[in-house]
Amino acid sequence: MDVSVETAKSLGLTAEEFDKIQQILGRMPNFTELSIFSVMWSEHCSYKNSILQLKTLPRSGKRLLVAAGEENAGLVDIGGGLGCVFKIESHNHPSAIEPYQGAATGVGGIHRDIFTMGARPIASLNSLRFGTPDNPRMKNLVRGVVKGIGDYGNCFGVPTVGGEVYFMPCYNHDILVNAMSAGIVKAGETVSATAGGPGNKVFIVGSATGKDGIHGATFASADLSEDSHEDLPAVQVGDPFQEKLLLEATLEAIKTGAVVGMQDMGAAGITCSTSEMSAKAGCGMRIDLSKVPTRQANMKDWEILLSESQERMLIVVTPGREGEILSIYEKWDLPCAEIGETIEGDILQYHYEGKLAAEVPADPLVLGGGAPVYVREQKRPDYLNEIAKFNLDQIPVATDLKAAARKLWNSPNLASKNWITRQYDSMVRTGTMTTNRPSDAAVVYVKGTEKALALTTDCNSSYVFADPHKGGMIAVSEAARNIVCAGGEPVAITNCLNFGNPYNPEVYYQFAEAIRGMGDACRKFETPVTGGNVSFYNQYTKAGQTIPVYPTPTIGMLGLLDDYNRMMTLDFKAEGDAIYLIGTSRNDLGSSEYLRGVLGVEFSPCPYFDLEEEFAIQQAVKALISRNLVQSAHDVSDGGVLANLIESAMPRGLGFEVQSRDGIRKDAWLFGEAQSRVVVSVRTTQIEEFERLLQAQNVACEKLGVVKGNAVVIDGEHWGEVSEWKRTYETVLTDIMTAEQ
């Protein structure tokens, strides 16, 4: 097939990139070679529009065992000769086109990133964004995504222990599906994604290669439109049972010591794994594509190279030990084929049916090598001027706050996600400690030790939309706050950065400022970034109008409990306990669920946030928990203090009597989402010591009231029984999802 600049553009390359490819090769590429550059230089693989910003993030720390982006996932020392491997990635575009397989293969792919490093996955989380759920199309997307996550995770045998779900109009066309996995590995049993050096043998293991997922990386680096359903072949198809076999076989193969390196075949398939492993080792590979097991006849060379069929990995093996690897995969009834060898020099040779199909250097293909790096234009978004005009004094306090609270409580963003979570198995492997003990973060026991992992995913995109820098700081800080409230110590983060088109200067401003905010917070909390994923082009084009999603930098945070008995939960424990707010109540309704969902105000400022104040409060909460001075801890976030109190009351059916603070608007006191606040309950016998500790640390607190009865009582007024609020909480989303269309 003849190639031209038009061919290059059809594959997602620019005219300048087409010229650069010719310069690298010293000749005109053939179609297969052009396809290789297309997928490897897509944003999804090369990070060409984002890498300069990403490099500003803190990427080193005392617990990190590998540098950010160096391996398939982050690796953190948790002590006792153990490491935690964890990562979060997106599968947004595939899920918007084919929600079941898109979400399922997102889960499968992130787990492979974990066990290709030698770790056994022990926990799965997710972060999901949907449009308004009463829309028939959106209901189908929700159903498909949730079923895909549940079916794959449940069959694979890893518990889904936590996550977050938001429903907002900005995601009516582009939904976000971010999947996170964490695993445990013993020291000395990790595997690197490297080819090692010349003379090693190259194997492909796992499922046979098909035509699904071809140009999936390019598909992920383009806008969705009304015609995107025609890109269905770019969506991969998963098989969790095959992946379970692949997990067990791979961990067994690693223990032989015969494995030099290993990499999951995710985005760009064989192309990506061969080029990245070679570039890392400073060598090349000679690959015979005719030896790749395929499940469809007459596949072309470029189809085999670019296929993103799932449950496959590339393994580089020490020469002379091929038989050991073959016998293990044969025992597990998995295809395992030797397809080539590593060679001297920075060159990748792909042969097919006795002919050289493509010959390209490895280093220019990959991030950090010769892949393009761009600096994009930034422009402060015009809508921020509208936000700057917001005046809280022009928002009247509702005459019936009780009715306003009921309306707020009917928001699917605040309601229980039990319609979703009951489709997930959270108890498989019996390590989950928070299935029946509600906590701000998921806590997972590390078997054979006294340790537990605390895990969370967090991002309120409304805050980032209102102020990208401050919103980025809040995303990290709230994740840390959740870890701390669960009794853990924040250790490190992974991130999934979901934004619109980077060629839009306003979108790139959001991206750059959000990263700046994340970096500021990560440095303060000493939680370095271990890696993650950038997902651009989350926007929809219709009738000439482009609609990007809210900027959504999802934070996946890892925390550690050295003693799992120190785990803290959010539920009130006993009648008579005092209820305190650590932090300060403020006249603030900015970007709150109440302002947006109840009053319909789209443009309002980010809620109050101060990084130093946030850090001080988290340090104080850690000290209180370590000294057993609080019975419960729950951070104030979506829905404000009222939502926080009801969430703490529901698990045991314990009510509360509280007083609002003088000098604060009552709606702001009830529903405001000002940051850096934690509600705790305290035994009466420990109040003096509790207050003394906070005073010594110069941290503000105010007594709200007392745990009492089974009703919600505010300023002496009865606001209903806890059981009534719980009934609404548990049925809102279920009623929406099961209503007749």
pLDDT digits (tens, 9 = 90+) for 47-71: 999 999 999 999 989 999 998 878 8
The model's pTM is 0.95
Residue 634 annotated to the active site: no
Sign (positive or negative) of CA dihedral 113, 11, 95, 483 = positive
pLDDT of residue 238: 81
pLDDT of residue 234: 55
pLDDT of residue 233: 53
pLDDT of residue 588: 98
pLDDT of residue 563: 97
pLDDT of residue 211: 86
Sign (positive or negative) of CA dihedral 73, 363, 339, 210 = positive
Residue 44 annotated to the active site: yes
Cβ proximity of 537 and 497 under 8 Å? no
Question: Of 44, 93, 111, 215, which is the active-site residue?
Answer: 44
- Token pair of 348 as six digits: 């990748």
Order of all β-strands in the sheet with 259-264 = 259-264, 312-317, 201-206, 336-343, 284-288, 348-352, 355-360
Sign (positive or negative) of CA dihedral 589, 593, 597, 601 = positive
Question: Of 91, 215, 351, 469, which is the active-site residue?
Answer: 91
Query: 316's torsion region: left (phi>0), alpha (psi -120 to 50) or beta?
Result: beta
> Which parts of the chain sit beneath pLDDT 50?
216-221, 227-232
pLDDT of residue 231: 45
How far is residue 126 from each of residues 45, 100, 512, measured CA to CA in Å? 22, 15, 24
> DSSP letter at 432?
B
pLDDT of residue 1: 66
pLDDT of residue 223: 55
Nearest to 451 by CA among 482, 487, 476, 485: 487
